[in-house]
Amino acid sequence: MLQPAELARVFPQCVRPLARFRPDIAALATATTIVGTRGGLLALTLPLGSAGVPAAGAAAGQRLKLLTSAGEQVVLVARPAAAGSRTVTVSGGGGSLGRVVWVVGLEHPAGAAVDYEALAALSLRTTQQLAQQLASVQQQLAALRSKVAATQRLNGELLLDHAEQADLRQQLHLLQSQQAATFSAGRPRRALGWAAD
């Protein structure tokens, strides 16, 4: 089984981070007020003594889970609560969250998971590249094999020429030795069919 941490070192695009909501705030907001004229931001005030927003370490852009009369909602922290404050400003609440808002908690990183679709796409792309490289190497190998065959054919012809030359040298030496033996035996040249000079 693939481990996300190991895969992230080699193919980080095939690992996606996971995040989970923890009930690290778990408090009923005492007030929800619209901030600004457009109504895109809402201020949530938590009761005194709640484990609350400052302790939770909320950061701008972090997601916050709320339970409202309309159901579960996830909003973004627009402005975290200042030190000593009990109010956090959120965006994405749709203008109004209703009268009862239970602030569940913040989203926190929870490890990573293998993105098998990205891994499959990467595997397919890698396989296609390897197939192209293999085809290229096979073409180069075929060209080299034809060059080797041509070189071997030429070497064979050269070996035949060399063998013929050796055979001719051997015949020449035989003739020279016969000629030397004939003249050293004292036979006249006429006997061999040569006219005397």
**pLDDT for position 55:** 46
Q: Where are the domains of the chain?
A: 4-114, 119-179
CATH topology for the 4-114 domain: Thrombin, subunit H (2.40.10)
Residue 29's nearest CA partner among 11, 75, 3, 2 is 75
Query: What is the rounded CA–CA span in Å between residue 50 and residue 19?
Result: 24
SS3 state at 151: helix
Reply yes or no on whether the pLDDT at 109 is more than 50: yes
**pLDDT for position 188:** 56
pTM value surpassing 0.75: no
Query: What is the rounded CA–CA span in Å between residue 179 and residue 125?
Result: 80
